[in-house]
Amino acid sequence: MDINWNAVFSGFIVAVVLGLAASLVGVSETSVWLFTIPGLVGGFVAGYMVSGVGDGAVHGGLATVIGALLTLAFLTVFGVLFIGIIPAIGGATIALLVLFFQAIPGAIAGAVGGWAKDRRAPQAAAGSETASR
């Protein structure tokens, strides 16, 4: 299987932007489900850029996991610099659990995106004309 890195990068950018926006909300019992949105949207974008359910799932999972890991690394370094090593390590541990909330829906959404692209109507060639009566 060939990995379409353009699709993974696009899904990654979407997941990172939405992940950073979701991290500004804070963590509570009701807002923890908000962390699945970056995985869903980023995975769907990556999956839609490739065709097929299997390829979409792989690309969606890759995009969300890479996006979540880089966001986690950035926020952990930021936390060590500004709040200390112990709270930053504690936050990184909790964030690894959040990674699971992003990876699984990202792969599922990638599969849905790949399926949706396969279900699209075929587009006509640029030079062909269709006669309709």
Can you tell me the mean pLDDT for 1-23? Answer: 84
CB 72 within 8 A of CB 33: no
26 lies in a domain? no
Which residues form the domain of 44?
A: 36-119
Residue 40 lies in a domain: yes
Domain total for the chain? 1
Predicted confidence (pLDDT) per residue in 99-129, tens digit: 776 678 888 999 998 888 877 656 665 555 5
Is residue 25 domain-resident? no
Whether residue 10 is contained in a domain is answered as no
112 in a structural domain: yes
In a domain, residue 126? The reply is no
Its pTM surpasses 0.75: no
In a domain, 111, yes or no: yes
Position 44 pLDDT exceeds 60: yes
41 located within any domain: yes
